[in-house]
Amino acid sequence: MVMVEQLTDHAMQDEEQFADLTPEARLDWLRLIRSDNVGPIIFQQLLARYGSAGAALDALPELARRGGRRRIRLCTVAAAEAELEAAAAIGALPLASCEAAYPRRLAALPDPPPLIYVLGHVACLQNPTVGIVGARNASASAIRYTRQLANDLGREGLLVASGLARGIDTAAHGGALEKGTIAVVAGGVDVVYPAENQTLYEAIVDQGAVISEMPPGTRPQARHFPRRNRLISGLSMGVVVVEAAERSGSLITARFALEQGREVFAVPGSPMDPRCRGSNRLIRQGATLIQSADEVVETIGPMLQQPSLWDGAQDLRQSLYLADDIGAAGNAIDNESQIDRRRLTDLLGSTPVGIDDLIRLSELTPAHVITILLELELAGRIDRHAGNRVSIS
């Protein structure tokens, strides 16, 4: 059996033992990530370059101006304070990616959400976790199988993470509930979707945890679900896909898992059932076929013997998207010529291109390229894509 930390007897840990950020610094972190065009990658680049979220906030208007945008909306102190007060009112704990209680596997990603909210047992976020995802309109046999798989994984000492949706997600949470489960939601941690899972949601808060990177009170929208899926895979050592149709959200989760270096497992299904075409295709493409929890444990067991991915104080400078010298080069880059900027922007188009290719073709230093792209993204002029690629918006 996999040995894991025992869950606490209380639904919420004492916030003070995790308070690595001061209240002022936490407010700045929240303001920075809620400001226009600041995503996880840009957040880390800004923090690495300016040393603090407060200094980065001061620099944002000028960076956006150089990128071609006259004004950028900064999250106000009042708005950030109101969000933190709303979280406190429902008992949700905000965790920054530099803090000890932040999930270790999530913190080890090159682009972790800078801040998440947790409702429930904070300590369980450090336990070895397996994600289970699949069809909302799942078959009765798949639901029965998923409940048993989740229960067996729990008995092996593994927590189960899923998205609280109908079908496979609901079955996964229900089967794992006895040993603890993590629900990753697309809206705020206080918003139950679908509403029919209210009782299950309350049980998860009592025996596991609900997490989200969205502000409390946020109603889930279609564009939120891919972000939710990225958290499910990021928390997990591996993701099990059960009954996934072609173009389903479960396949998005599997893709994120591959990009994050997680194991992808798939349960085989009938070739006559369209709900199984996506999961069967995953197997054909190299996902590990599994039929029992023992096969999952056999694959991820060796990972549990490896040194921790996280030493307790995550180094936000260690990002695949940062040049090693970006901080030192910051002052020099502030005065880069318009010729350099034009040389880089001329290489961009609607087709995504890798940042390494931009560095090579532009003949600019990595620090120059990263900074120019940062300014363009803050100005809303470029989009990021999987595989460290960018394109013109």
Q: What is the DSSP string of 26-71?
A: HHHHHHHHTSTT--HHHHHHHHHHHSSHHHHHHHHHHHHHHHT-S-
In this structure, is residue 104 part of a structural domain? no
**pLDDT for res 306:** 61
| Whether 170 and 295 share a structural domain | yes
**pLDDT for res 310:** 39
Per-residue pLDDT of the chain (393 residues; tens, 9 = 90+): 443 443 433 333 333 333 489 999 999 999 999 999 999 999 999 998 999 999 999 999 999 888 888 788 999 999 999 999 999 999 999 999 999 999 999 999 888 999 999 999 999 999 999 999 999 999 999 999 999 999 999 999 999 999 999 999 999 999 999 999 999 999 999 999 999 999 999 999 999 999 999 999 999 999 999 999 999 999 999 999 999 998 889 999 999 999 999 999 999 999 999 999 999 999 999 999 999 999 999 999 887 766 444 333 333 333 333 333 444 444 444 445 678 888 888 898 989 999 999 998 988 888 888 888 888 888 888 888 877 889 987
CA atoms within 13 A on the CB side of 388: 14
Query: Which residues, 6+ apart, have CB-to-CB distance to 223 below 8 Å?
Result: none
Query: Which residues, 6+ apart, have CB-to-CB distance to 45 below 8 Å?
Result: 319, 321, 322, 326, 370, 374
| Whether 332 and 298 share a structural domain | no
Domain hosting residue 369, numbered range: 326-392
From 270, 302, 334, give the residue that closes a domain: 302
| Whether 282 and 379 share a structural domain | no
**Hey, what are 286's tokens?**
């190299």
| Whether 56 and 126 share a structural domain | no
CA 273 vs. chain centroid, Å, equals 31
d(CA 380, CA 393): 7
**pLDDT for res 84:** 97
Residue from 221, 231, 275, 220 nearest 253 by CA: 231
Which backbone phi and psi does 71 adopt, to 5 degrees? -135, 145
SS3 state of residue 166: coil
In this structure, is residue 96 part of a structural domain? no
**pLDDT for res 305:** 67
**pLDDT for res 362:** 86
**pLDDT for res 312:** 34
In this structure, is residue 114 part of a structural domain? no
What is the length of the chain?
393
| Whether 131 and 174 share a structural domain | yes
| Whether 353 and 218 share a structural domain | no
From 235, 270, 302, give the residue that closes a domain: 302
| Whether 62 and 147 share a structural domain | no
**pLDDT for res 334:** 47
Residue from 158, 157, 212, 155 nearest 183 by CA: 212
| Whether 130 and 65 share a structural domain | no
Residue from 137, 129, 126, 96 nearest 113 by CA: 96
| Whether 374 and 259 share a structural domain | no
In this structure, is residue 157 part of a structural domain? yes
| Whether 296 and 384 share a structural domain | no
Cross-sheet strand order for the sheet of 353-354: 353-354, 389-392, 382-385
The β-bridge relationship of strands 181-184 and 209-212 is: parallel
Q: Per-residue DSSP letters for 292-339?
A: SHHHHHHHHGGGGGSPPS--SS--TT--TTS-TTHHHHHHHHTT--HH
